[in-house]
Every structure is written in C-alpha cells, then in structure tokens.
Structure 1
C-alpha cells in the first residue's frame, strides 16, 4: 500500500431495539439489531429482520455518529432514536462497536 494514502477512521455501529412502549406491529422485539460497518455495509443477523421505517428514522444520524465527536457534541451523548410509528413507540439505541480504517478514496 502506498504510504501516502489517506485513511479515514469511522466507527462501526449497531442499532438495537432498546424498548417498545406501545404495540409492536412490525414484528421486532427488544434486542433486535442491525450493524453498519465499513461506512456503508448493512448487516442483519440471519433469520431476523429490521423494520425499514425504523431504520429510515435512524439513517440521517448514522453518518454523523460514525465520525469522531467532541465530548461536548450533543450527538455524543444522545444515542436514542424513535421509530416514526406513534402506535409502536419503538425506541432504538445506537452503539459504537469498533473502528474501521478505510482508504479515503474507497468511501462513497
């Protein structure tokens, strides 16, 4: 590898169903999760699913949560995201699970 290649470090994330305060119409349960690794690779455990609408609620925040944050950044201390279904009241939390080092030119 060329020593001059720039490397970007991004956190790998896990989005986990933390609690369901209403009724689960999407079939997810507490503990269900998906992982985002290497910037954009989505993984869902075999035999499970992750609700598209719950994931859509989390997507706008995930790129910012992958990047290093200052301690005072509000997003560094806020890890909960709500599904948009008002009947379900499904609450997810985002966890950092590791760090990916990716050549910058490979990022989309």
Structure 2
C-alpha cells in the first residue's frame, strides 16, 4: 500500500574541525584544522588523518552532540548558536568546532525497517506486520 504521508525528514551534514591554540599543549593528538565530516549517517575522515576515539566516547565527548547538531533547531536554541566544544580531556587545550553544512532530505522508509504508525497503530510506511 502506498503511503499517503510524507515520510521525509532533514538532517544537516556536519564538518567538525580541531581548533588548537598556538603553542598550547595538545594531548588528544589533534592538529589545528584536522577535521571529519558527518554526512547523513556516515562519518568520513580525510585520507591519512586519524582522530582519537576518546573525543567520541569519553564523558563530555562530542558523540551526543552530533545527532542534535544535525537536526534543525529554533534560532534561539543554544544548540543553534553554540558550536565550539572543549576536548573531553580537561588537560587538553584543543576545541572542536561543529559547523552545519548542507541540509539533506531523507526518507524514513529508506533508513529504517521500523514503520511509521498512524494514531490508530496502522502501518503506513515500511514493513507490514
């Protein structure tokens, strides 16, 4: 059955860049200008560049912020304006700048097998129960 509902949603692609003060002690291995991109659900690193995994998984890391930064937000929301995030190592002087780039449109049915349900729990998109 074809869906009568639009199952599209939008996410921003992100570019996350290292900001390292000159002559500062950088403990995470980042160099000023190092970056990675998050395009939809895919994380990309430039060839030959690595990123310390701790920036994703330590307490206070970038990981929980990335999905939130991908979503459109209200202009007054702090998630819209705040983009410079401290390295999760409290002794490291680096920062990570999260930059929203291209806005992409996705289809719910193309990114998950879980159907969208109407208020009366009738599947309208995705796999039939």
TM-score range, shorter chain: 0.7 to 0.9
State how 1:5-20 maps to structure 2 within 5 Å. 5-20=6-21
2:100 matched to 1:96?
Answer: yes
The answer to whether the Cα contact below 8 Å between 1:53 and 1:83 also exists between their aligned partners in 2 is: no
2:90 matched to 1:86?
Answer: yes
The answer to whether the Cα contact below 8 Å between 1:54 and 1:82 also exists between their aligned partners in 2 is: no
Structure 2 spans left out of the alignment, 5+ residues: 113-129
Q: Which residue of 2 aligns with 1:34?
A: 36
- Give the 3-state SS of the residue equivalent to 1:35 in structure 2: strand
Who wins on radius of gyration, i.e. which is larger?
Answer: 2
CA RMSD of aligned residues (A): 2.1
When the two structures are aligned, how many residues end up with a matched partner? 107
- Give the 3-state SS of the residue equivalent to 2:55 in structure 1: helix
- Higher relative CO (Cα under 8 Å, sequence separation at least 6) belongs to 1
Q: TM-score, normalised by structure 1?
A: 0.85
Q: Which residue of 2 aligns with 1:52?
A: 53
Structure 1 spans left out of the alignment, 5+ residues: none
The answer to whether the Cα contact below 8 Å between 2:28 and 2:89 also exists between their aligned partners in 1 is: no
2:69 matched to 1:68?
Answer: no
